[in-house]
Structure 1
Amino acid sequence: MCLSWYGPGTCTTPTTTPRKEAVLAILHLKAKPNARRNQLLAAPDGTVTVRLQAPAQDGKANICLLAYLAELFGIAKSSVELLSGHTAPYKKVALHDVSEIDLQTVLQQYNTD
């Protein structure tokens, strides 16, 4: 799969019910700028492609990518970090404060079967 996990997926204590816990996820994806609309495509083989309206000039596509991912996963823009691929189509993005459940739900929703 295209994800790396750092942290627990579920937290259980004797006095509470299981709850979602935020983790750090590393998402490997391919960005395609100059698209008609912003769109995430998750293939069954684990490949993630993000189409972006912004052009690949002066970091505009990277800014658009981070804002779009924050919106999709329901997290703050400051919780999305571009780790590598600043000038390349293949990118590594860190998603902070996103639960494993939310991440899997979004990726399944945009699965291209």
Structure 2
Amino acid sequence: MPVAGAVVFFVAPPPISIPVYGSIAGTSLFVYWKIAKALMLPPVMGREGMIGRVAEVVTDVDSEGSEGMVRFDGALWQAVSEEKLPKGEEVRIIGLDGMKLLVERVHSLARFSVLPPPDHP
């Protein structure tokens, strides 16, 4: 983008080229800043990337040890919970037991919290 701005700066008269070049330079700096910020974030994958995230119950999860199914990031997972969770409920992933997700109900106000999810072992 700065190359296009440089062309405008040298071709157009100064009353036009300076604001155009300034806006192109400002936009470029903003984009570069966002890219640099994203590159500095640590990668979150695997178990660490799942814990604290929200999933949707696809088949009822019973509190008596029977498993239900939840959808997380487009994939179906077996899930267990200490409470009964009906289909359509939003749940938070609190841990993994092999290939099963340990989930808990997302309370209506917790969904809008600005605080990070609590750490679970």
Return the TM-score normalized by structure 2: 0.24
Q: Which has the larger radius of gyration?
A: 2
Name whichever structure is richer in strand by fraction: 1
Return the TM-score normalized by structure 1: 0.25
Name whichever structure is richer in helix by fraction: 2
More RCO (CA 8 Å, sep 6+): 1
